[in-house]
Amino acid sequence: AADAAAATGVVRGRLADGVIVTTAAVDVPELLQRYRARHPDVRVALRSGRSDELAAAVRAGELDIAFLGVPESEPPLGVEAVVLGHDEHVLVVAAGHRLAGAARVTLREIAEETFVDFVGGTPARAQSDQAFAAAGLVRDVAYEAGVVELITRLIARGLGIALLPSAFIRPRAADDPQLALVPVVDGPRRTEYLVWNRFNPSPATRAMLGVLGVPSTTS
């Protein structure tokens, strides 16, 4: 029935969408608004989570599409994927921190600091862990958090520093006088992807890819 509706230009059904909270390459709420305007008969479900969990859900058919952010060296596997953008991490410190006015820093210069970061074992955490490991450095992550809001609140209180994706954190820090951002010369980089199940994507999925200007197959 969904295919028949799509053939007439009317798309119905359900679209299950996954997103990481630090997505910056796409304005997801604005995208969903455009999608709903074009395809009002599709019921959209949105779920946030970790990149690895969302990719697994797409492979399992639990999600139709997902927006991910992963280390440059770890592209998503077993799914169709297109690169949405690349992003460098910046150092996020309290406004009164000794490095708040620095022009730039290196990983070695900040390795002895106390860090706030995402939970260990997650793709968001791996981006920083891999950068320090590649530089032959060990750091102290004293505070682990699952959401960016808690990370930035801990930083603002002077409890630690963090490395966060530039495109995501810059507009938020601009409105927060308690935070300061510093470029990192050899900091982590991430790649943002849009992924979807490569096996017979639904009409609702193909419609979303159309809104994004992405072909339904990249192979």
Domain residue spans of the chain:
2-85+191-212, 87-189
Say which CATH architecture domain 2-85+191-212 belongs to. 3-Layer(aba) Sandwich (3.40)
* CB proximity list for 35: less than 8 A, separation 6 or greater: 15, 42, 44, 207, 208, 211
On the question of pLDDT at 40 being above 70, the answer is yes
Task: Please indicate whether the domains covering 2-85+191-212 and 87-189 agree at the CATH topology level.
Answer: yes
pLDDT the model gives residue 2: 46
Of all residues in the chain, the percent with pLDDT exceeding 90 is: 89
Residue type, 197: N
pLDDT the model gives residue 216: 72
Q: Which residues pair with 117 in a beta bridge?
A: 144
pLDDT tens by residue, 91-119 = 999 999 999 999 999 999 999 999 999 99
- For residues 71-81, give the mean pLDDT: 93
Taking the model in full, what pTM does it have? 0.87
CATH number of 87-189: 3.40.190.10
Exposure string for 27-54, b = 16+ CB within 10 A, e = fewer: ebeebbeebeeebeebeeeeeebbbbbb
- For residues 179-208, give the mean pLDDT: 95
- Token couple for 110: 């900040």
Q: What is the mean pLDDT of the chain?
A: 93
pLDDT the model gives residue 218: 58
Given the DSSP bridges, would you call strands 162-165 and 80-94 parallel, antiparallel or unpaired? antiparallel
* CB proximity list for 175: less than 8 A, separation 6 or greater: none
- What count of other Cβ atoms lies within 10 Å of the Cβ of residue 177? 9
* CB proximity list for 138: less than 8 A, separation 6 or greater: 111, 132
For the chain, state the CA radius of gyration: 19
